[in-house]
């Protein structure tokens, strides 16, 4: 029996595992890096052990420190969560060598699937349909997909449509794979356009029982990372489902799999091909739990203790949809955001698996996912409506997120019709412009109400010559509004817009103003009446959009470049981000070099216009 479990992870998944352990009387041990010292998962665990350092390489990827932490805290088992060392056979062996229970498949099974190149060969031998593997050194036919052999989650993955792009994409994929998984090995596959990403949840005990616990569709992706997942798939009928389940069970049987895992496929029409086996719990496991009424983490723990699965899995009921809420800006190439999350509240009858709360600091060192929001309903459309409403009504203050995009996906006709594929976000333009004027007016009125003299708002005059004005910034856009201070109310401002009364809820954090309404949400910054003098940037200056590390410098001083040309590549929050020239001209100054750390706003290069 497991008495004390060390969770070799952080954030959302650590809190998720703690929740199940508390329900089952198992004590928990959290581990935490320097930036995570005050994180919710640390406070919620029974014990916590510090891993000195900030980067994953120094902390959550140190198998020796994690095993020592388990010993120090008196843990008798280790759960790896997902990501980090969850699919590292060496870590699993180190745990078992230390006399601890590993909550996961055997190290040999992890190793068998750890290399996607070797895994594909093994699956083909087991009769599982696979795509042909292409050697990166001899690729001649395009388009192709470059993939990291040692990992997943979209890292180390690139789509290449032209031969001229291949060399740079290959180098970039290898760098990202090395950074994320410690292994730069990549391989190539033919790119299946307009295919669906469908996966089967498997659960296997040590007594020979294997469940195929339904399928999930995860086709809505950005940067090859899933952001919307659902179960069951709208594209899978009974005949396809039977074949998918048979292939997944065959895959599990070929490696003697034990525990929870996922077999992933690409589905086009009625044909599917093997992608990979994830030898761990998946991020999107909640949709399976809600549809089948099971706790997969509890079953992981019970299987590790030697429990038997019933002969048949529970039957599915209804439909579940999950979205991943990220601190990122879809309008600027999914640029991740870091800083203070002042307010975080998601209402409604939904499941919220989050790693953050009011006041949490989102660090530059880790993936920017804030939470998973999941809705379950009798039908797919009902689940989508419930989830979209909860997201639209959420209060998320302090950081830009992908919340609006997720709502737009859930309300899109093509999504509601089940017409989804991995190129969905490329095919459909989901950018939406919001008129900032009503939001700015509501912000001005709320701000005026906080500056009262007695019962009168500041700016009120007995005889008015003109209305007071307020200025805000929405991104780089300056917005100026006139307002009547007699209409001022502090937190909720009701405006009459074309005959419809619309409430606007206003929250202020120093110069940051967050405005939420049924018509959307907007972040504004107050323009001070007497702004501090600022250093003027040279024309053509390019600044760092976020803190990060320079992993490639693509130009030389004196080089001629076109507008939109790549100047350098930054790594931030586990992903690479290209920094592009804003104008054509000559690289007059190059102020960074490879491996250099930069802060947001640092000048990186200056391109003088020709």
**3-state class of 189 per DSSP?**
strand
* DSSP code of residue 526: E
Q: Where are the beta strands (DSSP E) in 164-306?
A: 186-190, 196-204, 210-222, 225-231, 259-268, 271-278
Reading the block at residue 362, the tokens are: 């989102």
Q: How confident is the model at residue 45 (pLDDT cuts 50, 70, 90)?
A: very high
Residue ranges per structural domain of the chain: 4-103, 106-128+197-316, 132-190, 318-431, 436-526, 541-608
pLDDT attached to residue 531:
66
What's the CATH number for 436-526?
A: 3.30.700.40
Residues in CB range of 427: below 8 A, 6 or more apart: 421
| DSSP 8-state secondary structure symbol assigned to residue 58 | G
Name, in order, each residue with C-beta under 8 angstroms of 596's C-beta and a sequence gap of 6 or more. Answer: 549, 550
Q: Give the separation between CA 99 and CA 496, rounded to whole angstroms.
A: 68
Residues 317-353 pLDDT 10s: 999 999 999 999 998 889 999 999 999 999 999 999 9
Integer Cα distance of 367 and 202 in angstroms: 26
DSSP labels, 108-120: HHHHHHHSHHHHH
Asked if residues 386 and 402 have their Cβ atoms less than 8 Å apart, the reply is no
For the structural domain made of 106-128+197-316, what CATH number should be given? 3.30.470.20
The yes/no answer on whether domain 318-431 falls in CATH 3.30.1370.60 is: no
| Chain mean position to CA 254 | 31
Please report which confidence band the pLDDT of residue 137 belongs to, taking 50, 70 and 90 as the band edges: confident
569/220 Cα distance (integer angstroms): 26
Measured CA to CA, the distance from residue 200 to residue 198 in angstroms comes to 7
144-178 pLDDT, tens digit per residue, is 999 988 877 788 899 999 999 999 999 999 998 88
Instruction: Please state the rounded mean pLDDT for residues 5-28.
Output: 98
Q: Which CATH class is domain 4-103?
A: alpha beta
Strand-pairing partners, residue 570, are 550, 577
Can you give the pLDDT at residue 456? 54
User: Rounded CA gap, 509 and 526, in Å?
Assistant: 10
What local confidence, expressed as pLDDT, does residue 486 receive? 84
Q: Which of 46-55, 235-244, 459-468 has the lowest mean pLDDT?
A: 459-468
CA distances (Å), origin 518, targets 307, 388, 439, 493, 548: 49, 12, 11, 13, 36
Return the CATH class of domain 132-190.
alpha beta
Q: Which residues of 4-41 are buried (b: 16+ CB within 10 A; e: fewer)?
A: bbbbbbbbbbbbbbbebbeeeebbbbbbbbebbeebbb
DSSP state of 331: G
26 backbone φψ class: left, alpha, beta (φ>0; ψ -120 to 50)? beta
Give the contacts of 218 (CB within 8 A, at least 6 positions apart). 197, 198, 199, 226, 228, 229, 284
Name the one residue in this structure whose structure tokens are 């920094």.
579
**Residue 282, strand partner residues:** none
Q: Which residue would you say has higher pLDDT here, 516 or 601?
A: 516
CA distance 444 to 493: 10
What is the phi/psi pair of residue 404, to 5°?
A: -65, -40
What average pLDDT score do residues 245-271 get?
Answer: 97
* Residues belonging to the chain: 610
* Contacts of residue 510, Cβ cutoff 8 Å, sequence gap at least 6: none
pLDDT at 610 over 80: no
CB within 8 Å of 311: residues ≥ 6 apart: 209
Rounded to two decimals, the pTM is: 0.91
Whether omega for the bond prior to residue 603 falls within 30 degrees of 0, making it cis, is no
Fold of 541-608: OB fold (Dihydrolipoamide Acetyltransferase, E2P) (2.40.50)
Q: Is the pLDDT of residue 573 over 60?
A: yes
Structure tokens at 502: 């619309």
Using CA atoms, how far apart are residues 405 and 233, in angstroms rounded to an integer?
Answer: 21
Structural contact between residues 98 and 73, judged by C-beta atoms closer than 8 angstroms: no
Quick one: pLDDT at residue 463? Answer: 52
Q: In this model, does residue 460 exceed pLDDT 60? A: no
* 388, 78 Cβ separation under 8 angstroms: no
Distances in Å between the alpha carbon of 402 and those of 53, 340, 369? 29, 16, 10
How many CB atoms lie under 10 A from the CB of residue 156? 28
- Local confidence band at 112 (pLDDT 50, 70, 90 cut-offs): very high
3-state DSSP: the chain helix, strand, coil percent, rounded to 5? 25, 35, 40
Tokens of 400: 């830009």
H-state helical runs in 99-237: 107-114, 116-125, 163-181
**CATH topology match: 106-128+197-316 vs 318-431:** yes
Average pLDDT over residues 85-108: 97
- pLDDT above 70 coverage of the chain, percent: 97
Residue 323, classed as helix, strand or coil, is strand
């Amino acid at each position: 029996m497991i008495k004390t479990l060390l969770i070799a992870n952080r954030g959302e998944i650590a809190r998720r595992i703690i929740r199940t352990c508390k329900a089952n009387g198992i004590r928990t041990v959290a581990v935490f890096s320097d930036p995570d010292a005050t994180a919710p998962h640390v406070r919620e665990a029974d014990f916590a052990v510090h891993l000195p350092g900030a980067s994953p390489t120094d902390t959550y990827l140190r198998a020796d420190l994690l095993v020592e932490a388990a010993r120090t805290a008196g843990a008798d088992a280790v759960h790896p969560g997902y990501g980090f060392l969850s699919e590292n056979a060496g870590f699993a062996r180190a745990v078992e060598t230390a006399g601890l229970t590993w909550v996961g498949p055997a190290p040999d099974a992890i190793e068998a699937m750890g290399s996607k190149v070797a895994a594909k060969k093994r699956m083909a031998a087991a009769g599982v349909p696979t795509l042909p593997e292409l050697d990166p050194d001899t690729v001649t036919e395009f388009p192709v997909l470059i993939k990291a052999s040692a990992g997943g989650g979209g890292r180390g993955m690139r789509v290449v449509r032209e031969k001229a792009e291949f060399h740079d994409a290959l180098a970039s994929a290898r760098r990202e794979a090395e950074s994320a998984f410690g292994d730069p090995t990549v391989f190539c596959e033919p790119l299946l356009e307009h295919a669906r990403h469908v996966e089967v949840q498997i659960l296997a005990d040590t007594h020979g029982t294997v469940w195929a616990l339904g399928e999930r569709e995860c086709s809505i992706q950005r940067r090859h990372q899933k952001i919307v997942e659902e179960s069951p798939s709208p594209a899978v009928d009974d005949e396809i489902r039977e074949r998918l389940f048979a292939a997944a069970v065959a895959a599990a049987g070929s490696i003697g799999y034990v525990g929870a895992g996922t077999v992933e496929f690409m589905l086009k029409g009625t044909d599917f091909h093997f992608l990979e086996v994830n030898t761990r719990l998946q991020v999107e496991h909640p949709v399976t739990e809600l549809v089948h009424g099971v706790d997969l983490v509890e079953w992981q723990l019970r299987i590790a203790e030697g429990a038997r699965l019933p002969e048949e899995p529970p039957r599915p009921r209804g439909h579940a949809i999950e979205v991943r809420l990220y601190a990122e800006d879809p309008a600027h190439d999914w640029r991740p955001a870091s800083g203070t999350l002042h307010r975080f509240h998601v209402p409604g009858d939904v499941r919220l698996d989050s790693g953050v709360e009011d006041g949490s600091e989102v660090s530059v060192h880790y993936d920017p996912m804030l939470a998973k929001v999941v809705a379950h309903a009798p039908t797919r459309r009902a689940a989508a409506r419930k989830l979209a409403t909860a997201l639209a009504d959420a209060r998320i203050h302090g950081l830009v997120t992908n919340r609006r995009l997720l709502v737009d996906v859930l309300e899109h006709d093509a999504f509601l019709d089940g017409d989804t594929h991995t190129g969905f976000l490329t095919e459909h333009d989901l950018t939406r412009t919001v008129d900032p004027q009503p939001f700015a007016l509501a912000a001005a009125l709320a701000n005026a109400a906080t500056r009262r003299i007695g019962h009168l708002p500041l700016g009120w005059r007995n005889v008015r010559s003109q209305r007071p004005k307020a200025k805000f910034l929405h991104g780089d856009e300056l917005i100026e509004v006139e307002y009547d201070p007699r209409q001022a109310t502090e937190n909720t401002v009701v405006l009459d817009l074309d005959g419809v009364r619309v409430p606007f809820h206003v929250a202020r954090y120093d110069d940051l103003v967050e405005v939420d309404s049924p018509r959307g949400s907007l972040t504004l910054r107050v323009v001070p009446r007497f702004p501090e003098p600022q250093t003027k940037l040279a024309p053509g200056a390019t600044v760092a959009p976020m803190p990060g590390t320079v992993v490639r410098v693509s130009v030389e001083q004196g080089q001629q470049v076109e507008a939109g040309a790549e100047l350098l590549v930054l790594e931030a929050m586990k992903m690479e981000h290209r920094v592009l020239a804003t104008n054509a001209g000559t690289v007059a100054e190059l102020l960074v070099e490879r491996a250099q750390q930069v802060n947001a706003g640092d000048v990186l290069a200056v391109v003088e216009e020709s």
